[in-house]
């Protein structure tokens, strides 16, 4: 990642945290009876404001680290009653599932892993009685996922372990496929387009964390001045409600933008990988010079022509040792069609 891209990536969450905090502080102060001019004059004379402006990039960097620390195959939600039901979407499986059985089978042999493509979760259904199930009503409104009945019947510890292994295995294989595509100039566009959407997706996630931190900062600052809160209690309560609603609305808008970004990225990945496996199946197969029929059979598998039988299929060790992300150009017409060139 180049330096300019890093600066832009880290500055966005930090800038949103600072701006949302300033706006929220001004709103609460105004509802407490303090004019905007007086609040702005107070901020101009406060060195903390200048420090906050200069710390936009470091704060954004820290926000990113916190975001990535909590990003993963979540199975335990904050509330104990629903522990082990709500999960994070298995994005790798969502994309690889559309490749078809022959190509998925070939990828499992190529990378030497067993992948699970069954659907483990479903959308939370909206309950009929909102007051009796308020958490499920909110969860359905923000499109949360819960495990299927089959997964919920597994003991919690085993459920967490299996889902975590499945989540990382599917994502690692998808990332390896994109890395191989990016190593070839002919197919690098498949990875580069996804990288742009992935940066946007995670930037929106980190910005949502920044909004939550700015709200906590506003509450902390207001609580540190109890004399002003007591002097104008109704205005302080109204200001806190307004700032909370503003932060919640901004977080929901970021959530919707992030969701649509992933839908666009997933659609782009599915189409890009379909083109990649159809037009360049040789990127993901073993290249054997003495027995070309094995490579040709594996290439036909990735193209969707069928699964080779055990006699013609290369072993996992042979495929892993001879994977070549930089295939040589096709032989000249004068060369024998059954003798592929040596890997470059």
Per-residue pLDDT, 58? 87
Do 92 and 167 have their domain in common?
yes
Indicate the pLDDT class of residue 45, thresholds 50, 70 and 90.
low
State the helix-helix crossing angle for 188-223 and 156-182, rounded to 10 degrees. 130
Average pLDDT of the residues in 97-101? 85
Do 47 and 92 have their domain in common?
no
H/E/C letters for each residue in 148-178? Answer: CHHHHCCCHHHHHHHHHHHHHHHHHHHHHHH
Per-residue pLDDT, 183? 84
Between 88 and 271, the more confident residue is 271
Burial of 227 (0-12, 13-18, 19+ CB in 10 A): exposed
DSSP state of 83: T
Q: What is the token pair recorded at 196?
A: 């742009």
pTM: 0.71
- Distance separating alpha carbons of residues 102 and 289, to the nearest angstrom: 24
Say if CB 113 and CB 173 are below 8 A apart. yes
pLDDT tens for residues 126-167? 777 767 767 777 777 777 787 888 888 888 888 888 888 889
Residue 220 resides in a domain? yes
Average pLDDT of the residues in 35-41? 73
Average pLDDT of the residues in 168-193? 88
Residue 264 resides in a domain? no
The Cα angle at residue 256 between residues 218 and 260, in degrees rounded to 5: 145
Indicate the pLDDT class of residue 204, thresholds 50, 70 and 90.
very high
Average pLDDT of the residues in 328-334? 46
Domain count, the chain: 3
The alpha carbon dihedral of 200, 202, 206, 211 has a sign of positive
Give CA 79 to chain center in angstroms: 23
Residue 275 resides in a domain? no
CB count within 10 Å of CB 336 equals 8
Report the chain's mean pLDDT, rounded to a whole number.
76
Per-residue pLDDT, 308? 44
Q: Which range marks the domain in which residue 249 is found?
A: 1-70+197-256
210-219, 272-281, 327-336: least confident range: 327-336
Do 103 and 13 have their domain in common?
no
**Percentage, residues of the chain above pLDDT 90:** 10
């Amino acid at each position: 990642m180049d330096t300019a891209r890093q600066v832009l990536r880290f500055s966005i969450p930090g800038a949103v945290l600072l701006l949302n905090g300033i706006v929220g502080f001004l709103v609460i102060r105004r509802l407490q009876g303090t004019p905007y001019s007086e609040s702005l004059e107070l901020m101009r004379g406060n060195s903390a404001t200048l420090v906050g402006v200069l710390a936009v990039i470091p704060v954004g960097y820290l926000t990113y680290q916190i975001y990535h620390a909590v990003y993963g195959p979540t199975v335990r939600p904050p509330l104990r009653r629903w522990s082990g039901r709500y999960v994070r979407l298995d994005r790798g499986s969502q994309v690889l599932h559309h490749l078809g059985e022959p190509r998925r089978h070939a990828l499992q042999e190529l990378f030497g892993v067993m992948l699970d493509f069954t659907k483990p979760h479903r959308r939370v259904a909206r309950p009929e009685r909102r007051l009796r199930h308020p958490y499920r009503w909110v969860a359905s409104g923000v499109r949360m996922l819960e495990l299927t009945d089959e997964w919920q019947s597994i003991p919690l510890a085993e459920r967490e372990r299996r889902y975590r292994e499945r989540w990382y295995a599917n994502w690692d294989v998808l990332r390896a496929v994109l890395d191989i595509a990016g190593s070839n100039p002919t197919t690098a566009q498949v990875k580069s387009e996804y990288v742009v959407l992935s940066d946007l997706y995670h930037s929106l996630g980190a910005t949502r964390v920044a909004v939550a931190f700015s709200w906590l900062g506003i509450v902390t600052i207001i609580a540190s001045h109890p004399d002003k809160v007591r002097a104008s209690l109704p205005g302080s309560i109204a200001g806190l409600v307004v700032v909370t609603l503003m932060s919640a609305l901004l977080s929901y808008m970021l959530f919707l933008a992030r969701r649509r970004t992933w839908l666009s990225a997933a659609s782009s990945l599915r189409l890009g990988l379909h083109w990649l496996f159809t037009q360049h199946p040789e990127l993901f197969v073993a290249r054997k010079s003495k027995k070309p029929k094995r490579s040709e059979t594996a290439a036909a598998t990735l193209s969707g022509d069928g699964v080779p039988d055990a006699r013609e299929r290369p072993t996992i060790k042979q495929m892993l040792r001879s994977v070549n992300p930089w295939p040589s150009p096709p032989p000249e017409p004068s060369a024998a069609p059954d003798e592929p060139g040596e890997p470059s």
